[in-house]
Structure 1
Amino acid sequence: MSANAMAIFPFIILQHKAQKTNTTLINHERIHLQQQLELLILPFYILYGLNYLWNLYRFKNHYLAYFNICFEREAYANESDLGYLKKRKWFSWWPYRAEKP
């Protein structure tokens, strides 16, 4: 699996220039920027990595591990709602942290 885009505060890095017009993708990455900001950036990356490793241990599968990262679960669940960031409360990723295997 290769990433189409990546949010590294304060930037969104796209694989292709044409993705600039993909509002869903951009919104997904903007959700990650907000997550990074509220966790003061570095702790976000630490928690993201630890959540991935824990999921990898639980699921024994890269795709399940990635898609069950709490930050990804929030972003995927809300990426189509272009008004989400205006109404999003801080730490909205918290309820997404516990998924049963």
Structure 2
Amino acid sequence: MKYWPVIWKGLPANAMAIFPLMFFKDPKQKNNALLINHEKIHFHQQLELLILPFYFLYLINYVVNLCKYRNHAQAYFNISFEKEAYANELDMNYLKNRRLYSWFKYL
């Protein structure tokens, strides 16, 4: 999947995917295959939800988790979209075999 890399030194994370842009905090990260695979998983999630609903569901999932865990890191790592991306980022062939709405099983 093609994307446009953008360097943003003030980014609050190492990388962020906002289709079709992939933001990186450090220019060296543009060559990090693991990080790119993680963000490409988010691209697929965004596209299957027609982009805007992805952000709405992501935010709702985060807020619910924040109320549940009362901790930013726990809330973030328990977002279903992040769970899928982290669980499969090491598998460079994951996106070739990924089924639609695979993030749903991480709810």
What secondary structure is seen at the aligned counterpart in 1 of 2:102?
coil
What secondary structure is seen at the aligned counterpart in 2 of 1:73?
helix
State yes or no: 1:82 paired with 2:92. Answer: yes
Runs of 4+ in 1 over 6 A off after TM superposition: none
Listed as ranges, the gaps of 5+ residues in structure 1 are none
Summarize the alignment of residues 1-101 of structure 1 with structure 2, pairs less than 5 Å apart. 2-97=12-107
Higher relative contact order (CA 8 A, sep 6+): 1
RMSD after superposition:
0.5
What is the aligned length? Answer: 96
Aligned equivalents of 1:51, 1:13: Cα separation in 2: 22
Q: CA deviation at 1:69?
A: 0.1
